[in-house]
Each structure stands twice: as structure tokens, then as C-alpha cells.
Amino acid sequence: MPITKTIRVDLPGRAYEVAVGTDLLAEAGRRIAARAARAVIVTDSNVGPLVAAALVEAVVAAGAATEVIEFTAGEAHKNLDTYRDVMDRLLGLSDPPDRATLLVACGGGVVGDLAGFVAATALRGLDFVNVPTTLLADVDASVGGKTGVDAPAGKNLIGAFHQPKEVIIDAAVLKTLPDAELGNGLAECVKHAVIRDAGLLDFIVENAQAFRERRAAALADLIARNVAIKAAVVAADEREAGQRAHLNLGHTFGHAIEAAAGYTLGHGACVSLGLVAACGIAAGRGLIAPADADRVRDALAALDLPVRFDDAPSLPAEAKDTNRLREIMAHDKKARAGVVRFILPTALGAAEVFDDVTDAEVRAAVAALDG
């Protein structure tokens, strides 16, 4: 059996399983065909030829009717134009979809978010199976049910919560993943370690080389550990009223840097800088030891992620400007009535929400990144 581990995401009435393993596409085909007589697979122009074509073969071999909707790859296409295009193509199929039609996402975070939003809103909700193909999508977007697209006013401002029926993660497909994409996923793994599992930080550092070599078994272990962390957090708090907010560690700074840079720097790189900033503030408050903050920073650096602004030479000046970053933070959709909430580690493996981070602390954290 190529399945390493199956993790249950325990949401009342909408529980589902995440299967993690290697060389899982044939198994994915059987599972999809067992679920529906007809599947529409949504993918992008990068993943289509690399992975989705093999998935389609597997689904057809397992006996289900299959159609493919492919859109142009790239974050820039995660918008209402693409949503509408995919929706119109789905609803306009010569044999129109009905409520028994299964939607399958095969791709990275953009595909999962966009196809998930189409599934959430076509015929007021179609069943949805996610087959993510990037490490970031595997450990982050694949669990939690967040779907959506970007708006002119900001990222992920339009969307819905729509839980998949099943997630099937094949670590072997990561062999073609570019280095920067791998790093994006690893940044979220470090975040999970900081908020819930200090031992995971050691595991990541010890296996950094195996991850860089795309060794499927090591990646499957990493993915399974991270999916389990995210599943536990989401199951405890589906709608982000409480502890799910901890998953935003590093993201208040990270999103602000990403937006100030006009989305020219990858999400994971921005989160990495955000994790360093949050750990810096936590160390400054005595919540964690300075040595713990250093340990996180060194782990990120070992994974080739930026830990100072200089590590990302393409970053424009606005993205290093405290005033600009604070302005963006105040308008973050997670801000309430303008109060910016920060997640800070209270130990390695634990975190809490803070509403009282001062301007001076933010300035010091930005200055440290610039140091």
C-alpha cells in the first residue's frame, strides 16, 4: 500500500479523511470513481500535463466519466475572471452538471482555492475532492475548507468555507516542484512546529537535505505530521473564532510584506520573514527565550528561506517601510475595528493571540529584519 497515513479532519457533519502517501494516483482514481459516476477535474496549465493527465487516466480506468477544465497557471489568475470562466465552462458542458457531479481539484493552492470556490458555489454547492500537487497546498490549503479568489482590494477577500469530501496527497508528484515552491511549503511546516510541536522543528532541520532531494518517503512523513497538526486545529475551531487564529503566526507581517511588495515575493518567503518578526517580538516580551527565536530563524535559514530583508534582494523599499506595513495590517480582514491582532509564540510549540502589540514593538521587529 502506498498510503503512509490517513488523517481524519473531525468536523461535525462534514468530517473527511486526508490520505497521504507516495505513488497514489491510481488509488486516487479508484477513490474518485467510487464516489461519483462523473468527475470534472479542474487544473492549471502547469499541472495539467504533469499530473492531471495521469489522474484523468486513473479515474477513467476506474470507470468514471471525466472532463477536464484547465486554466492558465499563476497567482495572477486567482481572480473573479478565472472563477467566472471556469464556472461558465462547467455549467456550459454539453451534458450539464447536476448535484451528483463531483468536482476534483488537481494542482497547487491557486487551483484548490479556485476550484473549491467553484464547487462551493456551482448549483449552491457540489461535492469536492482535492488532489494537491505542491507542498504548500499539501500542508496548508488542503485542510480547512478555505476557498476563494483575490480581489482588486486584496488577497483572498472573496470566497467561502467549503470542506472537501476527501483529500488525496501524493508526495511523489513533488519531484517536479521548483525549489522556491518547496520552500513555500516548508515555511508553513516551521510555523506549525512553532505553534504546536517543537519536535517537528528538529525533524525538519534533520531532514532538510532529504526534502531538497524530493525524497518521497521523507516528504510523505513531513506532510502527514503537518496535516495532523492543521487538522487538529481546524477541527477545534472551524471558523477561526479561537485557536485557528494561531495558524496566522507570521502571517500578519507576512501578508503585509507580500502586499507592500505587490506580490512579487513568494508567500512562503514573506511568511518566513513574518515568523522571524513574530518570534522577535515574543523574545522581546520574554515569552520565549532569545535562543528559541534564534532556533526558529536558523531552521528557516537552513531551508533556504529569507530571514532578513537582504535575503530577498528583489524586495522593493515599500515592503520594508514600517508605516506602510502597519497601514496594510490595520486593513487586514482579520483586524477587528482597526485593532491588529498578532499571534506570538509563548513557548516553542505554543502560541496565543495578542491585541496589545505596540507600535514600538512593530518598529523594532521591522528594524531587526533590516539589520
Name the residues that contact its own copies, by CB under 8 A.
37, 80, 84, 87-88, 91-92, 96, 98-100, 117, 120-125, 146, 148, 151-154, 156-161, 331, 333-337
Considering 214, 255, 297, 320, which one is annotated as catalytic?
Answer: 255
Element spanning 132, H or E: strand 128-132
User: Is residue 334 among the annotated active site residues?
Assistant: no
Q: Which is nearer to its own copies, 152 or 286 (CB)?
A: 152
Q: Are strands 3-9 and 102-107 parallel, antiparallel or unpaired?
A: unpaired
Q: Which is nearer to its own copies, 144 or 185 (CB)?
A: 144
> What CA–CA distance (Å, rounded) separates 190 from 78?
26
Element spanning 279, H or E: helix 267-284
User: Is residue 175 among the annotated active site residues?
Assistant: no
Q: Which is nearer to its own copies, 100 or 367 (CB)?
A: 100
- DSSP letters along 297-350, please? HHHHHHTT--SSGGGSTT--GGGG-HHHHHHHHHTSTT-BTTBPPEEEEEETTE
Please count the residues of the chain: 371
Q: Shortest gap between Cβ of 341 and its own copies (angstroms)?
A: 11
Considering 78, 225, 251, 297, which one is annotated as catalytic?
Answer: 251
Are 148 and 159 a contacting pair, CB within 8 Å?
yes
Query: Within 10 A of 197 (CB to CB), how many other CB atoms are there?
Result: 19
The C-alpha cell that represents 300 in the structure block: 528557516
User: Is residue 207 among the annotated active site residues?
Assistant: no
User: Is residue 192 among the annotated active site residues?
Assistant: no
Are 334 and 251 a contacting pair, CB within 8 Å?
no
> What CA–CA distance (Å, rounded) separates 347 from 61?
50
Q: Shortest gap between Cβ of 359 and its own copies (angstroms)?
A: 20
Q: Shortest gap between Cβ of 303 and its own copies (angstroms)?
A: 30
> What CA–CA distance (Å, rounded) separates 213 from 73?
25
3-state secondary structure of 46: coil
Q: Which is nearer to its own copies, 63 or 178 (CB)?
A: 63
Q: Shortest gap between Cβ of 244 and its own copies (angstroms)?
A: 12
Q: Which is nearer to its own copies, 105 or 303 (CB)?
A: 105
User: Is residue 246 among the annotated active site residues?
Assistant: no
User: Is residue 226 among the annotated active site residues?
Assistant: no
Considering 162, 196, 214, 230, which one is annotated as catalytic?
Answer: 230
Considering 244, 285, 326, 334, which one is annotated as catalytic?
Answer: 244
Q: Shortest gap between Cβ of 295 and its own copies (angstroms)?
A: 34
The C-alpha cell that represents 186 in the structure block: 516548508
User: Is residue 248 among the annotated active site residues?
Assistant: yes
The C-alpha cell that represents 57 in the structure block: 487516466
Q: Shortest gap between Cβ of 208 and its own copies (angstroms)?
A: 34
User: Is residue 124 among the annotated active site residues?
Assistant: yes
The C-alpha cell that represents 270 in the structure block: 514573506
Closest CA to 203 of 218, 188, 214, 215: 218
> What CA–CA distance (Å, rounded) separates 346 from 367?
22
Q: Which is nearer to its own copies, 121 or 346 (CB)?
A: 121
Considering 46, 130, 184, 248, which one is annotated as catalytic?
Answer: 248
Residue type, 233: V
Q: Shortest gap between Cβ of 20 and its own copies (angstroms)?
A: 26
Q: Which is nearer to its own copies, 160 or 235 (CB)?
A: 160
Active-site positions read 124, 146, 188, 230, 240, 244, 248, 251, 255, 267
